[in-house]
Amino acid sequence: MSAPIAAIAASLHRERTRMGLSLAELARRAGVAKSTLSQLESGIGNPSVETLWALSVALNVPFARLVEPVKPRVQLIRAGEGPKFSSDTADYVATLLASCPPNARRDIYLVSAQIGEPRRSDPHSPGVVEHVILSAGRALVGPTDEPVELHPGDYISYPGDAPHIFEALNADTSAVLVSEHV
């Protein structure tokens, strides 16, 4: 399989999966035969520019995203760097470490919190799930009506589309928070 065809195959599969579409549904939306789409995702065939344009429109992605291989990107954020967002009601700071790349639906934050008023969060968009790994200190984390006490190394996952809380029980409490948009 040639490099351009391999890139197209991988891109089509990635973007179709990202949209949650079956082969048949994407083929229908793009106006191409399901067998053609299946062959393209398998790296077989030589798609026309018209077919690729129709697929990019159906997937709502730029044409170039289908034909250029995804380049791995190294990102480094040193401790203390990155955009910080503070709470108005608690001694709580979330530093954005990584926002959603085009093929993912998650953001990653480093949370720093102090003893005092807890950070109470209103429900996020439907389907959001939060994952927290406590790095230092102790904290009550999770749904507002059933938070769990976490210690360093503990992990919790809970619905972010319901009210939830992060309450530091020790000074200099920190955690990694992944907000997953499913």
pLDDT category of residue 63 using cuts at 50, 70 and 90: confident
| Model confidence at 104: pLDDT above 90 | no
d(CA 16, CA 26): 7
CB 124 within 8 A of CB 160: yes
Residue in the structure block whose two tokens are 């006490």 = 149
Mean pLDDT, rounded, for 26-51: 88
Q: What integer is the mean pLDDT of 136-146?
A: 95
Decide: residue 121, CB within 10 A, 0-12 exposed, 13-18 middle, 19+ buried: middle
> Would you state the pLDDT for residue 98?
63
Q: Count the neighbouring beta carbons within 10 Å of the beta carbon of residue 60.
A: 9
pLDDT for position 60: 85
> Can you give the residue ranges of every domain in the chain?
3-67, 84-181
Q: How does the average pLDDT of the chain come out, rounded?
A: 85
Name the band, by pLDDT with cuts 50, 70 and 90, for residue 144.
very high
DSSP calls for 53-116: HHHHHHHTS-HHHHHSPPPP------TT-S-EEE-SSSSEEEEEEEPPPTT--EEEEEEEE-SS
Backbone angles phi, psi at 91, to 5 degrees: -80, 80
* pLDDT score of 177: 92
Compute and round to an integer the Cα radius of gyration of the chain. Answer: 21
Give the CATH fold of the 84-181 domain.
Jelly Rolls (2.60.120)
Residue 174 has pLDDT above 90, yes or no: yes
User: What's the pLDDT band for 86 if we cut at 50, 70, 90?
Assistant: confident
CATH pick for 3-67 out of 1.10.260.40, 3.90.1150.10, 2.70.98.30, 1.10.357.10: 1.10.260.40
Q: Show Cβ contacts of residue 115 under 8 Å, excluding neighbours closer than 6 positions.
A: 91, 168, 169, 170, 171, 173
Q: What is the mean pLDDT of the segment spanning 102-114?
A: 81
Residue 57's φ and ψ, nearest 5 degrees, are -65, -45
CA–CA separation, 28 and 34 (whole Å): 8
Sorting pLDDT into bands at 50, 70 and 90, what band is 74?
low
